[in-house]
């Protein structure tokens, strides 16, 4: 599933190459993701941090931030997204779609949601799609994220009409 963003919303990468930062509290997950990402054509560099709080030193040089569950709070993710509006965010989550609520404040950026169990091919496709400014993810989770703001508006309208 993808929605093309305007030219200004697309990632400005260096000669078609992107820089990725992996944020995960698990060294094994970071190491595994790094190994998978190293084989992807078009990735310029890969940095790793154990939490979103450690991300600031790489924010200026990162095009895509890959975040796993446990990297930080929703507030931490919102702060990273506020401070670095051009960075695309790919969340790798377990079976809990509630962990993706922080993306509801995505404000026009490229973003994605995949399972932590995604294949190397799925991860590669997501990285390329995000670098092109597209939205990516498992349909049900994307649907839920898109539905959350709509449901909130509907509930507000229902209450205001009483």
Q: State the CATH number of the domain containing residue 155.
A: 3.40.50.2300
pTM across the whole model: 0.77
Instruction: Please name the residue that has the structure tokens 């799609």.
Output: 129
Whether residue 4 is contained in a domain is answered as: no
pLDDT at 153: 44
pLDDT at 90: 92
Whether residue 71 is contained in a domain is answered as: yes
Whether residue 2 is contained in a domain is answered as: no
21 beta partners: 47, 65
Whether residue 3 is contained in a domain is answered as: no
pLDDT at 8: 40
Residue 54: domain span: 9-160
Region at 42 (left for phi over 0; alpha for psi -120 to 50; beta for the rest): left
Domain count, the chain: 1
pLDDT at 149: 53
Q: Which residues of the chain have pLDDT under 70?
A: 1-16, 95-108, 145-162
Whether residue 38 is contained in a domain is answered as: yes
Whether residue 1 is contained in a domain is answered as: no
């Amino acid at each position: 599933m993808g929605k093309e963003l305007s030219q200004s919303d697309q990632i400005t990468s260096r000669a078609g190459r992107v820089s990725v930062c992996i944020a995960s509290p698990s060294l094994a997950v970071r190491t595994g993701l790094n190994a998978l990402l190293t084989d992807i054509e078009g990735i310029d560099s890969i940095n790793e941090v154990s939490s979103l709080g450690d991300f600031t030193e790489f924010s200026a040089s990162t095009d895509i931030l890959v975040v796993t569950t446990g990297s930080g709070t929703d507030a931490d993710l919102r702060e990273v997204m506020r401070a670095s509006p051009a960075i695309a965010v790919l969340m790798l989550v377990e079976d809990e779609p509630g962990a993706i609520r922080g993306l509801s404040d995505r404000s026009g950026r490229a973003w994605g949601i995949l399972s932590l169990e995604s294949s190397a091919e799925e991860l590669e496709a997501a990285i390329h799609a995000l670098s092109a400014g597209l939205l990516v993810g498992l349909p049900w989770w994307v649907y839920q994220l898109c539905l959350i703001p709509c449901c909130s508006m509907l509930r507000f309208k229902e209450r205001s009409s009483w």
